[in-house]
Amino acid sequence: MTYDFHASTGYWVTLAAHHYQQHVDAELRPFGITFRQFQVIAWLKYEGPLTQSELARRMTIEPPTLAGIMTRMESMQWIVRASCDQDRRKKFLDVGPAAEPVWEKIVAVLNKVREQATQGMSAEEVEKLHDLLCQVLLNLGETAQPARHEETSVNSS
């Protein structure tokens, strides 16, 4: 039995995502930021306070894996925990006071890698790529998608 990798959407999407993540990680490393730490800050900047289980689900990792990441980030004041008013057992995570300069570095790296990844593509081609990838996600039952044409600003919390 043979499999045509060249014709496999999954192969190309996975390969591109893996290399994109590696480039972001390599560009963040000199600043002492890991790819997973970037994800934590980005999700909290984008969606606001989240529980550990909600954040882990968005990052596609297990909550215990996230716990180790959070411990270091909390000690650096990149994230803070807050109690839920309705359920004192529930804790929300949010962006901490020391995260703003880190976020500025992350945004610069993301813009650099995005530019590198889309080099040679027109704005229309980039938009079409986004549309096609969104369609793939919809076809696979994923409903949580970033809002179209909105940006998470460096100055927003």
The residue whose two tokens read 């080099």 is 119
Q: Could you read off the pLDDT of 62-83 as tens digits, one per residue?
A: 988 998 899 999 999 999 988 8
Give the chain's length.
157
User: Would residue 44 count as lying in a domain?
Assistant: yes
User: Would residue 89 count as lying in a domain?
Assistant: yes
What is the average per-residue pLDDT within 112-122? 97
Residues 6+ apart with CB under 8 A from 105: 28, 31, 33
pLDDT of residue 149: 40
pLDDT of residue 91: 82
Structure tokens at 81: 């925990």
Q: Tell me: pLDDT of 150 over 50.
A: no
Q: Tell me: pLDDT of 87 over 80.
A: no
Percent above pLDDT 70 for the chain: 90
Number of domains in the chain: 1
Mean pLDDT of the chain: 88
What is the average per-residue pLDDT within 9-38? 94
Asked whether 74 and 80 are in contact (CB, 8 A), the reply is yes
> For residue 53, what is the domain's CATH number?
1.10.10.10
Q: Tell me: pLDDT of 100 over 50.
A: yes
Rounded Cα gap, residues 44 and 21, in angstroms:
19
User: Would residue 36 count as lying in a domain?
Assistant: yes
86 or 30, which is more confident? 30
The residue whose two tokens read 């215990």 is 64
pLDDT of residue 41: 96
